[in-house]
Amino acid sequence: MPELDCIIRGGTVVTAREVLRTDIGIQGGSIVAFQPEFSETAKEVIDAAGLYVFPGVIDAHVHFNEPGRDAWEGLETGSRACAAGGGTTFFDMPLNSSPPVLDMDAFNRKVTLASAKSVTDFALWGGLTPINLPHIERLCAGGVIGLKAFLCHSGIEDFPRADDKTLREGMKRAAPHGVPLAVHAESEETTRRLAEERIAGGATGKRDFLDSRPVTAELDAIRQAIDLAEELKCAVHIVHVSCGQGVALVAQARARGVDVTCETCPHYLVLTEDDFLELGAAAKCAPPLRPKATQDFLWERLLAGEVNTIGSDHSPSAPDLKVGADFFQVWGGISGVQLLLPLLLDEG
């Protein structure tokens, strides 16, 4: 074997199948061999004795907000936090950067920024909205990892939600490219009606926000996305599923041949609605945190192998946006990219 670029010596290596103590040989940026002890030399040797060596985390759901809102979190600090938590790759969502990634100009601009600033590998999601349908094919062919659509209001005015007509047309355009559609699955009809009822009565506290986004709103939207995926033969990925019932719907559809997968997030696995009621805005997200019994069922489905990916849904904001008594107005998002792997190791 020619001289290796790097040897990681004596670490406890965790693979998909086993845990073993071994040296790792790296050449040309790739792992080329595992051996109990390399006799070869290397340009760099890392002593990993007493340490665990994991594959790098791919966080497929982050919001690093650059360009336009990098004061909330930019590509440099976001990627450093990703790396600090064991991440080697992130997939950045098309919002909340401004402009969002709705066409190739915005995509190319963000690629340039990420190439200059990110300390990890990256890929970019594009958006599917009513205002960028003519750009979908070019985004799919141009390098996006997938498309993202909201079935409810996104919270960002320049990223409108995808109604049924938009979803259908977007899926038709994306399907031939094999590009998945990531769906924020909450029913606009249900969440808007329940929120308006509470706001009209002056009920804008934490409990009111939770009650305006019930599990049923999530399940209705997941069913809608699955039905369209089955009809239009487009790959769909349901992001940040907060409940085991939603995971079960996806697993049942996949079992009958629908190209659908799902993601959950660490905060749904380690925090409950009681934590939100105690912590307030810092723990506000959508879908919201759920009761303990709902969380327990989510863990069951996860441990049964029915959750396909776990992403942080890292969604930071300026601190002042997390302040206020009206919980329909304070920013909804949890910052967790650096804690994705540590939380799962600790809790799982």
Confirm if 48 and 19 have CB atoms less than 8 A apart.
no
CATH of 56-347, one of 3.20.20.140, 3.40.50.300, 3.40.50.150, 3.40.1010.20: 3.20.20.140
Q: What is the pLDDT of residues 325-345, one digit of tens each?
A: 999 999 999 999 999 999 999
Residue recorded with tokens 């009650």: 211
Domain edges within the chain? 4-52, 56-347
Residue 39, pLDDT > 90, answer no
Q: What is the pLDDT of residues 103-112, one digit of tens each?
A: 999 999 999 9
**Cβ-Cβ contacts under 8 Å for 21 (sequence gap 6 or more):** 10, 11, 12, 13, 36
Q: What is the pLDDT of residues 147-200, one digit of tens each?
A: 999 999 999 999 999 999 999 999 999 999 999 999 999 999 999 999 999 999
Percent of the chain with pLDDT over 90: 94
- pTM, whole model, 2 decimals? 0.95
Average pLDDT over residues 313-326: 96
Helical ranges in the chain per DSSP H: 75-84, 104-117, 136-142, 164-174, 188-200, 206-211, 215-232, 244-255, 266-270, 273-279, 292-303, 340-347
| pLDDT at site 1 | 60
The answer to whether 4-52 and 56-347 have equal CATH topology is no
How far is Cα 5 from Cα 158, in angstroms, rounded to an integer? 47
- Amino acid residing at 278: E
Q: What is the pLDDT of residues 95-148, one digit of tens each?
A: 999 999 999 999 999 999 999 999 999 999 999 999 999 999 999 999 999 999
C-alpha count within 13 angstroms, C-beta hemisphere, residue 171? 27
Radius of gyration of the chain (CA): 21
Give the homologous superfamily in CATH for domain 4-52. Urease, subunit C, domain 1 (2.30.40.10)
Computed over every residue of the chain, the mean pLDDT equals 96
